[in-house]
Amino acid sequence: MRRFFLIAAALATSSALGGCALGRSPGTPVYERESFDTRGAFSREFVASPADTCSAARRALLSQGYVVQARQEDQIGARKHFQPDGDNHVQIEFQVVCSPTAPGARTAVAFVSAVQDRYTVRKTAASASVGLSPFGSISLPLPSSSDSLVKVASETIPQGRFYDRFFDLVEHHLAEQMGLGEESTEPVALPSVRRP
């Protein structure tokens, strides 16, 4: 009888705790934090054609060790791997789309987003089966393990200096493409960049 009351008390306590957990108000949903402002932190306008802008973006990514995986005249996909320590792996995937600002315009907008995926090494214990003819097969836990990378997080890199540095490098390569680099002997003004 005493055991019955202990079980009933445990069930009542767990249901009360569950009710408290369900009664908590959830945090602000992620989609409500999206501001959709007009400052355009993920884009910048360049005085160049979309093809030239994307070509400069490709050079910028290649110069920093990114592997370009998909390339069209107006779109680039690139990837880079990082190993912060022995048990963690980080991968950044870049997506660049170059679009004309208006039909017939001599300016283009480069839209950029980068996704950071984080992986960690997970160890899984292995067991081995040993066959003994008189007794059949016996499974014994042997001290062995196998390692595998497991994705633990994925996030679009937020606005900030990360994209500013990329756009500045694109501007540098665009100036070199147009013959406005240091090798040029004629004093020509750099193309102006319109920042939203």
Residue range 105-141, pLDDT digits in tens? 889 999 999 999 999 988 876 655 555 566 566 665 5
Q: Which residue has the tokens 């290649």?
A: 62
- Choose among 85, 96, 93, 97: nearest CA to 66: 93
Instruction: Name the domain count of the chain.
Output: 1
User: Is the Cβ–Cβ distance between 45 and 107 less than 8 Å?
Assistant: yes
Terminal CA-CA length for the chain: 75
Compute CA 181 distance to the chain's CA centroid, rounded to the nearest angstrom: 32
Q: Return the structure tokens found at 157.
A: 């890199």
- Inside any domain, residue 137: no
- Inside any domain, residue 73: yes
- Inside any domain, residue 61: yes
- Coil vs helix vs strand at 185: coil
Report which of residues 5 and 173 the model is more confident about.
173
pLDDT, one tens digit per residue, over 140-154 is 555 666 678 899 999
Domain that holds residue 175: 39-118+154-179
Q: What is the CATH number of the domain that holds 50?
A: 3.30.310.80
pTM exceeds 0.85, yes or no: no
Q: Average pLDDT of 170-191?
A: 67
- Inside any domain, residue 128: no
Instruction: Say if strands 75-85 and 88-100 run parallel, antiparallel, or are unpaired.
Output: antiparallel
- Inside any domain, residue 77: yes
- Coil vs helix vs strand at 56: helix
